[in-house]
């Protein structure tokens, strides 16, 4: 096989940009979105592509689809649809470590098939931590399988990961540049579930891998992070050791019914009752007032330190639980927490007491302590006259804090976690997702338009405001994509992709069968996605793979599909954003990813090649 025409100056420039971009990714000299912006500037300045092509990525089908998918996922999350779905799945896990791992990993994989994998993993991270603490299962044995399946789950549909969203755009660009070779054959894009057999097989294999080899390849790490410790370091320095964490107390059947204020829990034990669970969890009082009663069989949630709570339990005859159980969901750190707020000079609370203004009932949060003139007050804070500049330590749901933040009475000293949920809009959110899928699947509407319809539906129905939609979009990913797409175009238009593919096929002449060529493409993409981004890998490898397939007499579409799938084969290093997300909560080190990820990487390649061979006919 003869080598192609000699290399041109434009090819050299493009190869130089390739080395430049790879170096920026590997050494993290600048953020990845800045790399994309640099390409939008440097490529037209070098003359290898026109300015119009350099900014064409911003209007591409792929970028619009990603923006729309993120907005739809934000709407589903904001209405509590994902939390509700997760809650029912987790209840089925029981106390088996393998079952917990399989159910959580499988559920995350399913969710990441239609929303960003980082979003699916982040959604399940707090719930997974709580389940592991409650059942005494090391969280390090669950988070890596969950994270890997979040990455793999993106291979189930064409909207599950950025590489697959990019696929059709990159293919149609290459197709348009090779009309003479393809003899006028029409381009046939992949459908939403064209990749599903590969994705389902990969998820199944990953779960089986961790069920069989999990104890050998997963670390048993005891993490020191304890979300029940409610105060950050700066607040702990101010409020001392009196307020440490949330505890759960079981009231026995022999207890005599008493009003909360009759028990004198705050003045006697420096302990605040923040929740009462009645009728075996069917009723929860999340902001108890002094008139609420404690009955036999109730579960009482309090905040204090262990010494005070043990004294309280002994004196009252209550049972101190080892972990949060009945109140686990209400007191979980992703639902509620503690915040400090300052009384503003013009607050209508000045000169009054918390009791006089019915503070708990009015604001739906629990006051824990008052900080005034370098002194912490824990007793009778409800009867203390409020002064400007007083700092109150408050506990409650994040949603209530967001509402309280809009009022002029209090100024919070730090950012409030969470967002205001709109569960009443859950039906609209599901309907918008269903509409987008119906347009894409049933009516064959272009994917970007179908998804954008669902995203706009979220806004028009009030699930999200337009500002919330803008804030929800990961603009770093958007500009990374928009900048790397023109690099892929330059790689193709200058002939650099064809030149490189010819060099590789010439070097392997004589034994480069279609099957060997596909294996080589899978290995190259897997390596490339480890040291750069998966988006960068697919943008640069798709035209190269399609050229190699053409020269070997194989189907270029299958080569492109292999690249898009293999771009998710990123397990050995914590370079993928999902792997980075779970690293600290799981207490992992790089060697833990190497140990667990090496086997997963080999299984990934073997499964993909097997499915492509038997179901997609790459041997033909």
Burial class (CB in 10 A: 0-12, 13-18, 19+), 445: middle
E strands present in 210-286: 245-250, 258-259, 272-278, 283-285
Tokens of 473: 């979009």
State residue 225's pLDDT score: 43
Span of 99-103, 146-150, 587-591 with lowest mean pLDDT: 587-591
CB distance 301 to 327 below 8 Å: yes
CB distance 591 to 213 below 8 Å: no
- Mean pLDDT, the chain, as a whole number? 83
Phi-psi region of 42 (alpha: psi -120 to 50; beta: other; left: phi over 0): alpha
pLDDT grade, residue 489 (50/70/90)? confident
State residue 283's pLDDT score: 82
CB distance 525 to 569 below 8 Å: yes
State residue 320's pLDDT score: 92
- Residue 380 vs residue 319, higher pLDDT: 319
Mean per-residue pLDDT, 245-268 = 90
State residue 575's pLDDT score: 67
Asked if the model's pLDDT at residue 475 lies above 80, the reply is yes
Per-residue 3-state assignment (H helix, E strand, C coil) for 169-198: HHHHHHHHCCHHHHCCCCCCCCCCCCCHHH
Question: How confident is the model over 453-474, as pLDDT tens digits?
Answer: 999 999 999 999 999 899 888 7
- Residue 150 vs residue 222, higher pLDDT: 150
Partners of 249 in the β-ladder: 300, 320
In eight-state DSSP terms, residue 442 is I
Question: How confident is the model over 404-444, as pLDDT tens digits?
Answer: 888 888 999 888 876 677 888 989 999 998 998 888 878 87
- Residue 346 vs residue 585, higher pLDDT: 346
- Residue % of the chain over a pLDDT of 70: 88
Domains of the chain: 233-331+335-412 (3.30.70.1450)
pLDDT grade, residue 197 (50/70/90)? very high
Residues 485, 480: Cα–Cα separation, whole Å = 9
pLDDT grade, residue 228 (50/70/90)? very low
CB distance 575 to 581 below 8 Å: no
Mean per-residue pLDDT, 9-19 = 89
Question: How confident is the model over 204-216, as pLDDT tens digits?
Answer: 999 999 999 988 9
Question: How confident is the model over 335-387, as pLDDT tens digits?
Answer: 788 889 999 998 999 999 998 998 988 999 999 999 888 888 888 788 899 99
Would the pTM count as exceeding 0.75?
A: no
Residues 429, 407: Cα–Cα separation, whole Å = 29
State residue 172's pLDDT score: 85
């Amino acid at each position: 096989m003869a080598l192609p025409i000699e290399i041109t100056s434009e090819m050299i420039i493009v190869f130089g940009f390739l080395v430049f971009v790879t170096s920026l990714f590997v050494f993290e000299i600048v953020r990845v979105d800045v790399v994309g912006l640099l390409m939008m500037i440097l490529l037209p300045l070098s003359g290898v592509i026109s300015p119009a092509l350099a900014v064409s990525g911003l209007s591409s089908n792929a970028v619009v689809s990603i923006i729309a998918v993120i907005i739809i996922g934000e709407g589903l999350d904001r209405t509590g649809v994902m939390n509700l779905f997760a809650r029912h799945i987790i209840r089925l896990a029981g106390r088996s470590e393998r079952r917990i791992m399989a159910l959580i990993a499988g559920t995350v994989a399913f969710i990441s098939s239609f929303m960003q994998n980082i979003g699916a993993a982040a959604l399940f991270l707090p719930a997974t931590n709580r389940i592991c603490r409650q059942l005494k299962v090391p969280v390090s044995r669950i988070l890596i399988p969950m994270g890997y399946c979040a990455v793999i789950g993106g291979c189930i549909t064409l909207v599950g990961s950025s590489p697959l969203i990019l696929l059709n755009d990159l293919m149609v660009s290459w197709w348009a540049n090779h009309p003479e070779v393809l003899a006028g054959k029409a381009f046939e894009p992949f459908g939403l579930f064209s990749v599903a057999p590969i994705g389902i097989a990969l998820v199944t294999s990953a779960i089986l891998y961790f069920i069989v080899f999990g104890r050998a390849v997963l670390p048993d790490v005891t993490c020191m992070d304890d979300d029940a410790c409610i105060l950050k370091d700066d607040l702990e320095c101010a409020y001392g050791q009196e307020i440490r964490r949330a505890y759960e107390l079981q009231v026995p059947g022999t207890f005599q019914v008493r009003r909360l204020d009759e028990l004198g829990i705050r003045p006697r034990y420096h302990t605040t009752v923040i929740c009462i669970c009645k009728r075996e969890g069917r009723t929860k009082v999340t902001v108890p007032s002094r008139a609420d009663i404690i009955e036999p069989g109730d579960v009482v949630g309090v905040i204090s330190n262990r010494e005070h709570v043990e004294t309280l339990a002994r004196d009252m005859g209550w049972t101190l639980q080892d972990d949060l159980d009945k109140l686990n969901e209400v007191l979980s750190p992703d639902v509620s927490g503690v915040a400090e707020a300052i009384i503003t000079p013009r607050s209508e609370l000045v000169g009054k007491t918390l009791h006089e203004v019915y503070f708990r009932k009015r604001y739906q949060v629990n006051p824990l302590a008052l900080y005034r003139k370098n002194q912490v007050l824990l007793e009778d804070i409800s009867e203390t006259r409020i002064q400007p500049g007083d700092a109150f330590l408050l506990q409650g749901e994040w949603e209530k804090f967001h509402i309280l933040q809009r009022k002029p009475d209090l100024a919070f000293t730090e950012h409030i976690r969470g967002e205001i949920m709109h569960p009443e809009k859950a039906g609209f959110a599901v309907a918008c997702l269903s509409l987008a899928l119906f347009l894409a699947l049933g009516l064959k509407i272009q994917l970007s338009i179908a998804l954008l319809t669902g995203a706009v539906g979220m806004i028009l129905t009030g699930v999200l405001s337009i500002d919330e939609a803008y804030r929800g979009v990961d603009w770093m990913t958007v500009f990374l994509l928009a900048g790397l797409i023109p690099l892929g175009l330059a790689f193709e238009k200058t002939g650099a992709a064809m030149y490189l593919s010819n060099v590789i096929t010439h070097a392997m002449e004589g034994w480069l069968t279609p099957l060997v060529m596909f294996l080589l493409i899978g290995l190259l993409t897997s390596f490339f996605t480890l040291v750069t981004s998966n988006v960068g890998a697919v943008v640069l490898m798709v035209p190269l793979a399609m050229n190699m397939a053409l020269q070997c007499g194989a189907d270029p579409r299958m080569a492109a599909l292999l690249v898009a799938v293999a771009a998710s084969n990123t397990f050995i290093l914590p370079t993928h954003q999902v792997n980075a997300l779970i690293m600290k909560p799981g207490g992992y080190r790089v060697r833990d990813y190497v140990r667990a990820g090496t086997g997963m990487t080999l299984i990934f390649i073997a499964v993909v090649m097997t499915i492509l061979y038997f179901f997609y006919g790459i041997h033909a």
